[in-house]
Structure 1
Amino acid sequence: MEMSATRATETQAAGFPPEDSTAPPPPLSWAIPRKKWLLPAVAVGCVALLGAGVRALLSDSTKANSALVFYTVKRGSLPIVVVERGNLESQFTEQVICEVENFGGERYGQSGTQILFIVPNGSSVKKGDLLVELDSAPLKERLDTQFLAMERAEAEKTQAEIRYTNQETQNTTALAEAELRVKLAQLDVESYEDEKGGTFQIEMQNLDMEIQNARAQQLIRKKDCEAVQALYDLGYKTEGDLATAKLSLSRSNSELASNIARKRQLEEYTYSMQKLDRQGKLDTASRNLDQVKLNNQAELAQAETARDSARRAYDKEKERYDRYNEQLEKCKIFAPQDGMVAYAVSDSRRGGAVIEAGAFVRERQEILTLPNLTKMQVNTAVHESVLDQVAVELKAVIRVDAFPDRSFTGRVKSVAVLPDQGGWFASDTKVYKTIVTIDEDVQQLKPGMTAVVEIDVERVDNVLSVPIQAVVQRGSGTWCFVRAGSGVARKEITLGKTNDKFVEVKAGLAEGDSVVLNPMSLLDEEEEAKKEEEEGEEGKADAKSGEAKSGGADAAPGKSGREGAGPDADRGNGAGRGMGPGPGSGAGGDAGAPGQRGGAGVMPGGEKSFPGGGDKSRRGGGPGSFIRMFDKDGDGKISKEEAPEPMRAGFDKLDKNGDGLLEQSEMGAMPDMRRKSEGAPGEAKGKASGS
């Protein structure tokens, strides 16, 4: 940017006194001329002038508004660049966390595992170096106890497995014995009932043989007896011989009858009894076989359950023992890669302890990180107004505050989809986390260093451009104030693309035109002139009607406050310099007045200087955005040297804590201070006119 001349010279060329002039500013050459007031309106005019004089004494911004700064319009290239600040971090960071469970319980009012040793913060380590050693004493005690429990479980498992094997053998023996009984009983039944050679048939054949023999003996004895009887009759045999022959015949008859009876008993009774007995034994053996099978299954299942339970118990005990061993190994943490040790920053809201030897750490708590310092990236945030311009893979230039003479090339790696509402500047400001990687391997860069990222969106060549603080927008109109002879003139313009400092002018200006960089002062004078003219016309109308108005008492109820407020009631600073509020209540014109660089704020009466692209009603309008524009060292505050020159006169009043720096809370009070300073004259005017 080039300024056309010194501030004093340009101010005088524009028809205004220098900044240190205490005289009230003369009317602008383009302002509406004042009409002569009638005699009855003189009192009202005097009151208005008195209010303006009091306001000039109380307001520190009157001098700043009467000095104009010009910029000569030039044609050239306009780089469309999104500039954001952020912090360096490693692209590849190994996180070292505590993986040891809390085996020690509550000790010394602390829960977790105590750090016995930790490498100093900022140390350079190699892969495999010991980083942290945690207290393992409680773990070793548990490990010894668990070893004994595991041994007992192993013995019970072995016994259960042997019992199961023994039960399998017993089941096999019992089953074989039962099956043998069934087979024997089956053979017994079959051997008894076999028609060809069964036991029953053999017995029947034997009885038949005996019956045949008995009949043969009977026949022989009968023949013998008849022969002896014949001989006896002849006298050859004695009576004793006859009796003996008859006895032998009787025995033969008895034997034959006995054999016949035995055969009948065998056929009718013995056969059925033997058949039922043998079949019953077969059925019993079959049922016993089924019972043996069920008993075997139940006993085997019981043994199997006991065995599996013992195995699971052993596995659990062994798993716990192995876990304790693993936890014991994790009490010593070794470096997974080369890097620099960076202690984890505790969250004070959660009462986190500082990482140091003797401190307690919870499981899964981060202890330290090992960033790869050769591959770095910038963690920044992009405002929602320029989010549509930023895309992945866009080229960027990174400058680190610690090395101002060096720059690095990079690319946009990622842009967050959702906003980070806990942003850097204000709770209602939406920014989107953006990661920009540095392409080359770097040295000496450390995590946490502040860096400025310039994301190259595009470049527009051979265009006219002006600083964005020179552009003013009211409603749907957009214009600049341009030097015209000894004064200035308003010109409507058409805007094009913009960056954070300049905006393209497509129509309305020509190369070589001088535009006003601080149009706030012109707007203030214009508003004052219009209000004074309106009050003069109202006073003239009142004089013609002959009505004596008291001003303060009549204007207060239900009126806008113009009649009792004086010429500044409509300036939009929200104070309402009369007894009633002015119609332009709101943020006022102070938010954008001091700064003219990088996006103006809200103009009087609600007008907004155009911030260049994006949402015209939101971008650059709050105290946080104002600080962001002028904060050159990135500390989130504005020093007196960083503040724009028109703002330095009232700097000490804004600096409430007297530290020489303006914070966001102090900047937020700036409109209220101006309302208070401008409200007193208004009230005086109202009371004077009312009297």
Structure 2
Amino acid sequence: MMKLTILATAILAAAGIAWVSVVPNDSIDSLLDSAPTHTISRGELIVSVTEQGTLESANNTEVKCRVRGSNTITFVIDSGTDVKAGDELIRLETLAIEEEISERTKFYHLAESQVARSAADVERAKLAISEYEQGRFVTELSTLQKNLAVAESLVLNAKNRLKHSQMLAKSEYASDLELEEKEYALSQAQLTLQLTETQIDVLKNFTKQEELVRLTGALKAAEATWEADVERALADKKRLERAQEELGLCTIVAQRDGLVIYPDGEEWENAPKIEEGGTVNKDQTLLLMPDLTQMQVKVGIHESIIDRLESGMESNITLNREVLSGEVTYVAEVAKPAGWWTGNVVKYDTIVSLPPTAEGLRPGMSAEVEIVLARHQDVLTTPTSACLEIQGEFICWVKTRSGAERRVVELGDSSSMFILVESGLNEGEQVILDPLANVPGAQQEAAASLRGSREQEFGFEDL
């Protein structure tokens, strides 16, 4: 319930008392007869709040900067321009990106050449394994097998010679020295045979495995080097392609026909301005292309009544002397930052939608928005100017045949002009407007209440 305050000051009240004390009774009656009144009646009480807002589109196509880092604007289209699809909207400085493309191209070509070299190393490593298994190993094994056959032949030959010498020695045709030579030749042939057999065994079971491990490791190392070179080349290629893509993104064209406007930044935001020579950053909104068939009004609602607002409330929007119907579609949960630019007044952003049939609307237009907070049907109402709040009670003065009758009333919801009467007044009764000016008793009561409150404030009530 909206609180009413005493409109008179102590000086006015004191002056009223002094004035009443010297006014004759017939003058008082004349004052009451001429006092403006209002007849209490039943009707509809509409409680609303009115604020100024700004028109905007509910569906904006954002044109954002997609180039990394900070970029300088070399051209930007004027805000409010109607464009066609394909028209140039904004252009960014390209010198740094062109230099980057040159560097990235060089790095990419070097990486590609390294990939070719490492790929050749992989093929060589694969061939080395096949060359060993089917070439060097077979050759070495064949050589040892030939040596083995020779050694076996020598052993057999040495045995035959020793046997022949032993037969001759029995007949004393061979000396002991000759016999020893034959035995020594046999032992040497047997050692050569054993050595050759050992060499074949080592070649098959150890040398071959060791060489294959070495060659396989070399192949894996070559493959790892090749994979790293490929990844490096792909990374350089992506960097080059990204730089080439960003070069194309430096020129932004309209994707569809429509209106182009600059985004509005709030006072507390420190976003770079959209202007030629200005610097913008990646993902910053550069331009907006609003959908003019889906318009809405953004207003700031004072924190004192924000709890009464909710989506779906009906609204009346005045634009260019034309009144349109709308409804509340969004109420912010958090207030906008308050500061010197708002007079330290805390307000909450509220969105009011407009009907799609509205024509000739453009973002940035001013609008007066009346949001209907409540509709009270068939209720008693009285003008707010007919009531005073005195010592926590609401007082009205009813005009009767015998004079002004003081009434204590209970009040409810209120608009800027009228307030709902819950009890204390009846339909058809006439309440006196502006009682401080038209009811002497109201002047005296208000002055006494004001004087008592001041005595309590300064601690004089016990003196």
> TM above 0.5, one fold?
yes
Query: Which of 45, 55, 60 matches 1:88?
Result: 55
Q: 1:125, 1:339 within 8 Å by CA — same for their partners in 2? A: yes
Q: 1:178, 1:289 within 8 Å by CA — same for their partners in 2? A: no
Q: 1:182, 1:285 within 8 Å by CA — same for their partners in 2? A: no
Q: 1:468, 1:502 within 8 Å by CA — same for their partners in 2? A: yes
Q: 2:390, 2:446 within 8 Å by CA — same for their partners in 1? A: no
Is the partner of 2:397 in helix, strand or coil?
strand
* Paired AA for residue 91 in structure 1: A
Q: 1:396, 1:453 within 8 Å by CA — same for their partners in 2? A: no
For structure 2, the 5+ residue unaligned runs are 1-14, 24-33, 459-463
Higher strand share: 2
- Give 1:454 deviation, angstroms: 3.4
Query: Which of 111, 122, 125 matches 1:167?
Result: 125
Answering whether residue 316 of structure 2 is matched by residue 398 of structure 1, we say: yes
Q: Counterparts of 1:363 and 1:479 in 2: how far apart (Å)?
A: 64
Q: Counterparts of 2:118 and 2:383 in 1: how far apart (Å)?
A: 90
- Distance of aligned partners of 1:161 and 1:481 in 2 relative to their CA distance in 1, 3 Å threshold: farther
- Give 1:509 deviation, angstroms: 0.4
Q: Counterparts of 2:430 and 2:144 in 1: how far apart (Å)?
A: 129
Answering whether residue 71 of structure 2 is matched by residue 112 of structure 1, we say: yes
- Distance of aligned partners of 1:206 and 1:280 in 2 relative to their CA distance in 1, 3 Å threshold: closer
Q: Counterparts of 1:283 and 1:272 in 2: how far apart (Å)?
A: 16
Q: Counterparts of 1:205 and 1:86 in 2: how far apart (Å)?
A: 121
Is the partner of 1:584 in helix, strand or coil?
helix
- Give 1:94 deviation, angstroms: 1.7
For 1:77, the equivalent position in structure 2 comes to 44
* Counterparts of residues 157-556 of structure 1 (less than 5 Å): 157-177=115-135, 179-180=137-138, 203=155, 207=159, 211=163, 215=167, 249-251=171-173, 258=179, 262=182, 266=186, 271=190, 274-283=193-202, 286-345=205-264, 355-392=274-311, 394-402=312-320, 404=321, 406-422=322-338, 426-427=343-344, 429-474=345-390, 477-485=393-401, 488-518=404-434, 525-528=444-447, 530=448
Q: Counterparts of 1:25 and 1:499 in 2: how far apart (Å)?
A: 34
- Distance of aligned partners of 1:218 and 1:147 in 2 relative to their CA distance in 1, 3 Å threshold: closer
Q: 1:524, 1:571 within 8 Å by CA — same for their partners in 2? A: no
Is the partner of 1:76 in helix, strand or coil?
strand
Is the partner of 2:20 in helix, strand or coil?
coil
Give a deviation string over 1:55-106, Cα, whole Å, max 9, x none. xxxxxxxxxxxx975433221122344444322110111222333345xxxx
- Give 1:139 deviation, angstroms: 3.1
- Distance of aligned partners of 1:352 and 1:388 in 2 relative to their CA distance in 1, 3 Å threshold: closer
Q: Counterparts of 1:282 and 1:28 in 2: how far apart (Å)?
A: 144
Answering whether residue 14 of structure 2 is matched by residue 25 of structure 1, we say: no
- Distance of aligned partners of 1:471 and 1:182 in 2 relative to their CA distance in 1, 3 Å threshold: farther
- Distance of aligned partners of 1:207 and 1:371 in 2 relative to their CA distance in 1, 3 Å threshold: same
For 2:7, the equivalent position in structure 1 comes to none
- Distance of aligned partners of 1:488 and 1:326 in 2 relative to their CA distance in 1, 3 Å threshold: farther
Answering whether residue 452 of structure 2 is matched by residue 583 of structure 1, we say: no
- Distance of aligned partners of 1:356 and 1:265 in 2 relative to their CA distance in 1, 3 Å threshold: closer
Q: 2:397, 2:431 within 8 Å by CA — same for their partners in 1? A: yes
Is the partner of 2:54 in helix, strand or coil?
strand
Is the partner of 2:364 in helix, strand or coil?
coil
Give a deviation string over 1:299-348, Cα, whole Å, max 9, x none. 33443344334333333332222122112211211113332221345678
- Distance of aligned partners of 1:148 and 1:207 in 2 relative to their CA distance in 1, 3 Å threshold: closer
- Distance of aligned partners of 1:286 and 1:488 in 2 relative to their CA distance in 1, 3 Å threshold: farther
Is the partner of 2:377 in helix, strand or coil?
strand
Taking only the aligned residue pairs, the percentage that are identical comes to 23
- Distance of aligned partners of 1:271 and 1:515 in 2 relative to their CA distance in 1, 3 Å threshold: farther
Q: Counterparts of 2:368 and 2:135 in 1: how far apart (Å)?
A: 94
Is the partner of 1:483 in helix, strand or coil?
strand
Is the partner of 1:127 in helix, strand or coil?
coil
Q: Counterparts of 2:337 and 2:403 in 1: how far apart (Å)?
A: 46
Q: Counterparts of 2:144 and 2:428 in 1: how far apart (Å)?
A: 129
TM-score (norm 1): 0.53
Q: 1:90, 1:377 within 8 Å by CA — same for their partners in 2? A: yes
Q: 1:76, 1:464 within 8 Å by CA — same for their partners in 2? A: yes
For structure 1, the 5+ residue unaligned runs are 1-20, 30-66, 103-110, 193-197, 220-248, 532-567, 573-581, 586-691
- Distance of aligned partners of 1:88 and 1:469 in 2 relative to their CA distance in 1, 3 Å threshold: farther
Q: 1:398, 1:451 within 8 Å by CA — same for their partners in 2? A: no
- Give 1:374 deviation, angstroms: 1.9
* Paired AA for residue 129 in structure 1: D
> Which structure has the bigger radius of gyration?
1
Q: Counterparts of 1:188 and 1:485 in 2: how far apart (Å)?
A: 150
* Paired AA for residue 503 in structure 1: I
Give a deviation string over 1:271-326, Cα, whole Å, max 9, x none. 46633552255325643334323432443344334433433333333222212211
* Paired AA for residue 506 in structure 1: E
- Give 1:376 deviation, angstroms: 0.3
- Distance of aligned partners of 1:202 and 1:467 in 2 relative to their CA distance in 1, 3 Å threshold: farther
- Give 1:527 deviation, angstroms: 4.2
Give a deviation string over 1:423-472, Cα, whole Å, max 9, x none. 88652x54322212123232111212222333345532211012345444
Is the partner of 1:447 in helix, strand or coil?
coil
For 2:89, the equivalent position in structure 1 comes to 131
- Give 1:367 deviation, angstroms: 2.9
TM-score (norm 2): 0.75
- Distance of aligned partners of 1:203 and 1:464 in 2 relative to their CA distance in 1, 3 Å threshold: same
- Give 1:475 deviation, angstroms: 5.8
Higher RCO, Cα 8 Å, sep 6+: 2
Is the partner of 1:451 in helix, strand or coil?
strand
Is the partner of 1:381 in helix, strand or coil?
strand
- Distance of aligned partners of 1:503 and 1:301 in 2 relative to their CA distance in 1, 3 Å threshold: same
* Paired AA for residue 412 in structure 1: V
Is the partner of 1:112 in helix, strand or coil?
strand
Residues matched between the structures, number: 430
Q: 2:315, 2:371 within 8 Å by CA — same for their partners in 1? A: yes
Q: 1:83, 1:500 within 8 Å by CA — same for their partners in 2? A: no
- Distance of aligned partners of 1:335 and 1:69 in 2 relative to their CA distance in 1, 3 Å threshold: farther
Is the partner of 2:19 in helix, strand or coil?
coil
Is the partner of 2:457 in helix, strand or coil?
coil
- Distance of aligned partners of 1:432 and 1:358 in 2 relative to their CA distance in 1, 3 Å threshold: closer
Q: 1:375, 1:440 within 8 Å by CA — same for their partners in 2? A: yes
Q: Counterparts of 2:445 and 2:17 in 1: how far apart (Å)?
A: 18
Q: Counterparts of 1:142 and 1:475 in 2: how far apart (Å)?
A: 79
Q: 2:55, 2:366 within 8 Å by CA — same for their partners in 1? A: yes
- Distance of aligned partners of 1:150 and 1:264 in 2 relative to their CA distance in 1, 3 Å threshold: closer
Is the partner of 2:310 in helix, strand or coil?
coil
Q: Counterparts of 1:426 and 1:514 in 2: how far apart (Å)?
A: 41
Q: Counterparts of 1:437 and 1:250 in 2: how far apart (Å)?
A: 137
Q: Counterparts of 2:436 and 2:145 in 1: how far apart (Å)?
A: 126
Give a deviation string over 1:143-165, Cα, whole Å, max 9, x none. 33433333333223322322332
